[in-house]
Structure 1
Amino acid sequence: MEIENDVTVKLLFFARSKELAGTRESTIRLPTKISYKKLLNIISENYNLQTIKDNILLAKNEEVCEEEVDIEIKERDSIAVIPPISGG
């Protein structure tokens, strides 16, 4: 029997990340445990976000992820990609 080690999650893009990715939301298969940096790299490379990568925040199920802590992901979790927001 094969052990399931990856899950499908929903990616939600906001503001500039939505423009660069060309979509508001998408799904992606990810391992159940991943470092913040690796997750950020995967999302940046797959969704054309390299130009804003250093300024993106990632949030899982509406909670901002800590960069130093591995992210545990379950089936149907959502990951929000939040770029810097300029105000005026």
Structure 2
Amino acid sequence: MIIKILFFGITADLVHTTHLTLDIDKDVKVASFKAVLESKYPQLKNVNSYAIAVNEAYASDDLILKENDTVAIIPPVSGG
């Protein structure tokens, strides 16, 4: 199934794009998706942690992705 991925901040710098589409298996949970993503883009392992949002809402690791979902990769934010 096809999903759209959006990268923000340092994650966009690491993968050299702000968006792409990815063909993944059906019934993949967010936790498994992270593993697939890090296998394709091992440089993401250098980010201490990042949040996943699916269709503009933060997602837990057990959420199952669906065809045409938009997944945002959101790095940690710091500032003051």
Q: TM-score range by the shorter chain?
A: 0.7 to 0.9
When the two structures are superposed, what TM-score results if normalisation uses the length of structure 2? 0.86
- 1:54-73 equivalences under 5 Å are 54-67=48-61, 69-73=62-66
Secondary structure at the counterpart of residue 52 of structure 2: strand
Higher share of residues assigned strand: 1
Q: Which runs of 4+ in 1 moved over 4 A?
A: none
When the two structures are superposed, what TM-score results if normalisation uses the length of structure 1? 0.79
Q: Percent identity?
A: 27
Which residue is equivalent to 1:85?
Answer: 77
Q: How big is the alpha-carbon RMSD for the aligned residues of Structure 1 and Structure 2?
A: 1.4
Distance in 2 (alpha carbons) for counterparts of 1:25 and 1:41: 18
Runs of 5+ unmatched residues, structure 1: 1-6
Runs of 5+ unmatched residues, structure 2: none
Distance in 1 (alpha carbons) for counterparts of 2:18 and 2:38: 15
